[in-house]
């Protein structure tokens, strides 16, 4: 819960859709895209934009962008402006770099040697200063503070291996991905196709789904050969909103071409030195919705496994297990099941109070919880009993301390805190808005006597080893069946075998970043 209170924001989200069959399509492309992004609004709510295209050789782009919530930006009248279209991409954003202004809203359109390209970008580049200098040195001007503009300019830049008279967009994408090793997912719309690309380390999620006929949606057993199009998204949880079925993840470093006819893998860009992939482990802990699929496993299942490991590492004599509503519910159920203790609700949330992180200072943040504005107690469920309270995180300690006090004042005999993630100690530079090192409770002297500081009887975090083993427990790496006509793997010791090397970015826990930072 404290991650939300801190304003630790989910990454941005991208979504794309292309219809199959005859064009012009009968499908309502703008509404499909808008609904798809509703399923991703937990990843960003500061601004949003949609660009649609008719898919002609000289395409007509229609654009609408706005600052604010998705349902405010995309009214029925605004969506009507995006007709008639056969494909489109969309972006929802919270601010990682640059100000939340209309000029920084994505997607962007850039005129290139390849023609017009529309681009939407998720997350943040780690070598931004160097890329800015390189572009400026080549006489390329930059008009915004967004690193997404740098990506569009790199796409427009002609790579050395490209012949002047034969524009090759895929060569430009490859060049971009070599220049920027991490952390991003990209959608690029060019003429009648959408290109999807995931950074070589696979730090950010990106997956593809099949849009199936409405008549087949409720028939889960039927493997429909019919389809109405393809969708690509930062999270599979968005597919349910539009009647799409999960197809597969885009691999780390992979460039995929999505047309109305097929999905085709074009290339895989290797990582330097044969390094393992580094998928953001924070997705499992907090960012992703529980029904999302990553690495062929559901996020809910991983969270359940994490807290069962926590129960092994930190058991406690208690009468019941509960959670801070509502984010730690799967973890509380997992802990209760492993310890054979009843799961009982002890707190309830007031949904009509705004998020406490938007209040301007620490005193008001603390009062926002302590004065019962946001949390209520179900005291009849726990009077005289020993509670194990599960939370997904304790970052500063501002949120959990008043809750512990509230429970004890309301009759709890003991309150033991168990945290379903390791202590956060380091900032993230991959597009996550995490506080500075000085703000983390784990970096303060009080951490040595954290239970006393918070007013709890005990406080234990999940270990880093326990987190990683729980995440990787359900991952099965299968050898990819690679056909030369379908995929081109660059053979420099970093081919398909390397992509089977599982790995996760834990930099905000360990301070070990998987690439050299550019500042």
Catalytic residues: 12
Residue 286 DSSP one-character state: I
Helix, strand, coil content of the chain in percent (nearest 5): 30, 20, 45
Q: Which two tokens stand for residue 331?
A: 């973890």
* Strand ranges (E), 243-400: 244-249, 254-258, 263-268, 279-280, 293-294, 297-298, 320-323, 347-349, 375-377, 386-391
Among 225, 219, 179, 222, residue whose Cα is nearest residue 199:
179
Q: In angstroms, rounded to a whole number, what is the distance separating the alpha carbons of residues 132 and 442?
A: 35
Among 123, 124, 172, residue whose Cα is nearest residue 152:
172
Q: Cβ(264)–Cβ(483) under 8 Å?
A: no
Dihedral sign for Cα 361, 362, 366, 369, please. positive
* Strand ranges (E), 302-385: 320-323, 347-349, 375-377
Q: Cβ(253)–Cβ(269) under 8 Å?
A: yes
**69 CB-near residues (< 8 Å, 6+ apart):** 41, 45
Among 115, 122, 52, 6, residue whose Cα is nearest residue 391:
6
Q: How many CB atoms lie within 10 A of CB 256?
A: 23
Please enumerate, as own/partner, the contacts of 493-501 that have beta carbons within 8 Å and a separation of 24 or more: 493/274, 494/270, 494/271, 494/272, 494/273, 494/274, 495/268, 495/270, 496/268, 498/270, 498/271, 498/274, 498/276, 499/251, 499/252, 499/253, 499/268, 499/277, 501/274, 501/275, 501/276, 501/277
| 375-377 and 13-19 strand pairing | unpaired
Place of tokens 């930072």: 517
């Amino acid at each position: 819960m404290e991650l939300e209170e801190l304003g630790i924001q989910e990454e941005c989200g991208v979504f794309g859709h292309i219809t199959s069959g005859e064009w012009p399509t009968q499908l309502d492309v703008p509404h499909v895209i808008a609904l798809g992004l509703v399923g991703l609004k937990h990843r960003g709510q500061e601004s949003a934009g949609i660009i649609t295209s008719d898919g002609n050789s000289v395409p007509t782009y229609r654009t609408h962008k706005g600052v604010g919530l998705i349902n405010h930006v995309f009214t029925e009248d605004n969506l009507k402006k995006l007709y008639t279209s056969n494909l489109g991409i969309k972006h929802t954003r919270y601010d990682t770099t640059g100000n939340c202004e209309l000029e920084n809203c994505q997607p962007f359109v850039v005129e290139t040697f390849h023609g017009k390209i529309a681009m939407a970008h998720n997350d943040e580049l780690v070598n931004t200063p160097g890329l800015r200098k390189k572009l400026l040195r080549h006489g390329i001007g930059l008009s915004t503070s967004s690193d997404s503009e740098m990506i569009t300019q790199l796409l427009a830049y002609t790579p050395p291996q490209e012949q002047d008279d034969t524009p090759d967009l895929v060569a430009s994408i490859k060049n971009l991905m070599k220049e920027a090793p991490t952390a991003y997912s990209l959608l690029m719309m060019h003429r009648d196709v959408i290109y999807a690309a995931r950074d070589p380390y696979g730090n950010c999620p990106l997956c593809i789904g099949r849009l199936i006929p409405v008549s087949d949606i409720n028939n889960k057993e039927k493997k429909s050969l019919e389809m109405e199009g393809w969708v690509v998204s930062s999270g599979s949880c968005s597919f349910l909103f539009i009647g799409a079925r999960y197809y597969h993840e885009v691999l780390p470093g992979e460039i995929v071409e999505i047309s109305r006819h097929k999905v085709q893998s074009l290339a895989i860009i290797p990582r330097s030195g044969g390094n393992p992939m580094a998928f953001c482990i924070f997705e499992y802990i907090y960012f992703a919705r529980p029904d999302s699929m990553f690495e062929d496993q559901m996020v809910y299942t991983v969270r359940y496994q994490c807290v069962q490991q926590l129960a092994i590492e930190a058991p406690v004599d208690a009468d019941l297990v509960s959670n801070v509503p509502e984010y730690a519910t799967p973890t509380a159920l997992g802990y209760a099941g492993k310890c054979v203790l009843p799961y009982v609700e002890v707190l309830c949330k007031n949904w009509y109070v705004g998020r406490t992180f938007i209040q301007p200072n620490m005193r008001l943040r603390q009062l926002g919880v302590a004065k019962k504005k946001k949390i209520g107690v179900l005291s009849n469920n726990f009077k005289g009993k020993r509670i194990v309270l599960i939370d997904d995180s304790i970052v500063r300690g501002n949120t959990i301390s008043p809750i512990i006090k509230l429970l004890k004042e309301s009759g709890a005999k003991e309150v033991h805190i168990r945290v379903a993630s390791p202590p956060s100690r380091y900032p993230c530079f991959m597009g996550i808005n995490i506080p500075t090192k000085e703000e983390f409770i784990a970096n303060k002297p009080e951490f040595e006597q954290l239970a006393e500081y918070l007013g709890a009887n005990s406080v234990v975090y999940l270990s880093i080893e326990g987190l990683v083993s729980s995440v990787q427990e359900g991952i099965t790496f299968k050898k990819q069946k690679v056909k030369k006509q379908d995929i081109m793997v660059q053979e420099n010791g970093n081919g398909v075998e390397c992509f089977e090397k599982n790995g996760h970015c834990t930099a905000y826990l360990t301070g070990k970043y998987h690439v050299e930072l550019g500042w």
